[in-house]
Chains A and B, each alone.
Chain A
Amino acid sequence: EDKVVQSPLSLVVHEGDTVTLNCSYEVTNFRSLLWYKQEKKAPTFLFMLTSSGIEKKSGRLSSILDKKELFSILNITATQTGDSAVYLCAVEARREGQNFVFGPGTRLSVLP
């Protein structure tokens, strides 16, 4: 059965700290891995990763994929209170139907 595991499930840090969120997966016919940020509403898209070892960056956020070890990390540097959210990892499988499997998310709280 396909599954996506995220760790930690929750994390509390102070502004300015750097955090690393983890996502590991077991999916048949992997196609891509996506990170979403979810605040008090629907998830918003952050990154899509398809190739190992290529870092994607957007401001203070960056992410990388390891297809050999089947995991991805999401880094946030110099955290701000506005980074407080649930960060979801989803894996896309190359098949019809239930293409996307989501992890439970990591709830990040950034304290001032």
Chain B
Amino acid sequence: DTAVSQTPKYLVTQMGNDKSIKCEQNLGHDTMYWYKQDSKKFLKIMFSYNNKELIINETVPNRFSPKSPDKAHLNLHINSLELGDSAVYFCASSQDTVTSANEQFFGPGTRLTVL
């Protein structure tokens, strides 16, 4: 059984389009995250939700909007895609907030390519 799943795995789209990436975890965790990994493998946190409440919102353009319909799902919607949005996006989850030193479980990633 997949613990953290993301769809789609690959996403190729034109500049200016709107797209969504979905994430689901079946671990019963309270906290979920979105990360962006660039071509040099640098990993940057974008958002974190705890029990459907936003708790971390890093400096991310307003074009990115996370939505958590329930604590098992955290989707990422991106408006007006730009070339610089091309990256691999990872969803992750943990038992609760990161200060308790819990392990984060990562999904397989969504490779977004903006043409």
- B partners with A: no
Interface, chain A (partner B; CB < 8 A): none
Interface, chain B (partner A; CB < 8 A): none
